[in-house]
Amino acid sequence: MIISIASGKGGTGKTTVAVNLACSLENVQLLDCDVENPNDHLFLDPEVRETKPVNLKVPKIDKKCDYCGKCSEFCEFNALFVVKPNPKNRIPGNVLTFPELCHGCGGCSIVCPRNAIVEEDRQIGVVNSAMVGEIEFAWGELYVGEPLAVPVIRAVKDEINGEKTVIIDSPPGTSCPVINSVYGSDYCVLVTEPTPFGLYDLKLAIETLRELKIPSGVVVNKKGIGDEKVYEYCKKEKIEILLEIPFDRKIAELYSSGVLFATQMTEWKRNFSDLFGVIRESAQNA
Amino acid sequence: MKICVPTMGDRGLDEMVSAHFGRAPTFTIIDMATNEVRVLRNESEHFGGAGHPPELLANTGADVLVCSGLGPRAITMFEHSGIEVYVGASGTVNEIIKAFQKGMLQEATNENACKEHRH
């Protein structure tokens, strides 16, 4: 079973829920797909077992090129710029490539009539894997300055072990990286805080998941701050509240020193394993 | 010599320069030898079309681009297309041509490119 943890708003507690849930279950795999800002490993202190590069195929132009411009015409992301030869200005033909814009689709090499485009690997990040106690753990890291998170997220998801309960920690928001992280999961837990900000982004996330036809429920974190609007919304939309985590000094202190509160407060280990029971039941009934 | 200015509309020499090069609605091209003025709609990628704006301009035979500012990627493209680029322009096309002729505008370099385009 694959459970993704998403949120809409950032900083609501995705990592808190993902990592505490993982350490409260057996036969579990945790995948950190927030590759632009992975932080599950800060709580698990893993010893890296393997690091795999994540490469993107980018075009390299061969001498055979006659500057016809078909490749740049084809490229949706304008990663190629063809300078046609201009004898008047004494400008020789040239093709500029912008690897940072390239999505690696390979279309340019297919449309090139002269076979003048070869593809070469460009590394944009890594996927690390480790065993932390009983938890099988992998996390992606997109290199600083790289704009494309999705290829790294896909590489993290290639690690999915179908024999385990898989927990996917998604990035915040509702854009491509989130869609790719939650896609294919059996259930999505949306973590929110009971504030107008939390609610606004929760609504966007709920709409996204409904579009993707992924059953979902809500964990309210930092219960006690804000207002009642998240509850009113969930009631009206018939969205299940799976768990509430109070705005609690002890939890915050443990979090800030990188300690999982489910390992220190036994009632929370039980709460998280109960959460898994609720998720499993909801996913089956969906 | 043909000078190109990214502009807000189609009022020719009286048109205002666009503050944003790539998203300028039009490009006004002035042939200094014949005083002919041509207005080209920006049908590049920024307006749902295809291609980079410099590609569009390279095909018009422009020799010089005078604009308010532009990103480093556009500068590179112009450099390779043999089009000189000057930045710091303001006001109408007419005023800009005068400023350019007096040598009051600065040639574009990586240092004076718009930083927000470096992504």
Task: Classify A53 as helix, strand or coil.
Answer: strand
Residue A262 reports pLDDT greater than 80: yes
Nearest CB among B51, B63, B81 relative to A72 is that of B51
Considering only CB atoms, which residues of chain B are within 8 Å of chain A? 45, 50-52, 54-55, 58-59, 61, 63, 73, 76-77, 80-82, 119
pLDDT in tens, A44-60: 999 999 999 999 999 99
pLDDT in tens, A23-36: 999 999 999 999 99
Confidence of residue B60 (pLDDT cuts 50, 70, 90): confident
Q: Lowest-pLDDT range, A86-95, A106-115, B20-29?
A: A86-95
Planar angle of CA A172, A178, A181, nearest 5 degrees: 120
Q: Is residue B30 part of a domain?
A: yes
| B106-107 vs A165-169, strand pairing mode | unpaired
CA distances (Å), origin A120, targets A33, A155, A173, A210, B108: 25, 18, 32, 39, 32
- Scan for tokens 């090139």, then name that residue: A112
State whether residue A89 sits within 8 Å of chain B by CB.
yes
In the prediction, which pLDDT does B48 show?
63
Question: The CATH number of the domain where B96 resides is what?
Answer: 3.30.420.130
Contact residues on chain A for B77, CB-CB shorter than 8 A: 81, 83, 96
Minimal-distance CA residue of chain A relative to B81: A83
Residue B21 reports pLDDT greater than 60: yes
- CATH of span A55-122: 3.30.70.20
Q: What is the nearest CA distance from B39 to chain A, expressed in angstroms? A: 23
Q: Can you count the helices (H) and strands (E) in chain A?
A: 11, 11
Residue A168 reports pLDDT greater than 80: yes
* Boundaries of domain holding B81: 2-114
Distance between CA atoms of residues A28 and A18, nearest Å: 11
| Residue of B65, B75, B77, B80 to mutate when probing chain A, most A C-beta within 10 A | B80
**What residues have CB less than 8 Å from B46, skipping those under 6 apart?**
B22, B23, B53
- CATH of span A2-54+126-285: 3.40.50.300
Whether the CA torsion A169, A175, A177, A183 is positive or negative: it is positive
Contact residues on chain B for A96, CB-CB shorter than 8 A: 76-77, 80
Q: Is residue B119 part of a domain?
A: no
Q: Do B82 and A147 touch (CB under 8 A)?
A: no
In the prediction, which pLDDT does A162 show?
95
Of the candidates A261, A240, A239, A238, the residue with the CA atom closest to the CA atom of residue A250 = A261
State whether residue A68 sits within 8 Å of chain B by CB.
no
Q: What is the pTM of this model?
A: 0.81
Q: Report A:159-178 residues touching B (Cβ under 8 A).
A: none
Q: Is residue B100 part of a domain?
A: yes
Q: Do B52 and A81 touch (CB under 8 A)?
A: yes
Residue A125 reports pLDDT greater than 70: yes
User: Structural domain tally of chain B?
Assistant: 1
| ipTM over cut 0.90 | no
State whether residue A96 sits within 8 Å of chain B by CB.
yes
Domain positions in chain A are 2-54+126-285, 55-122
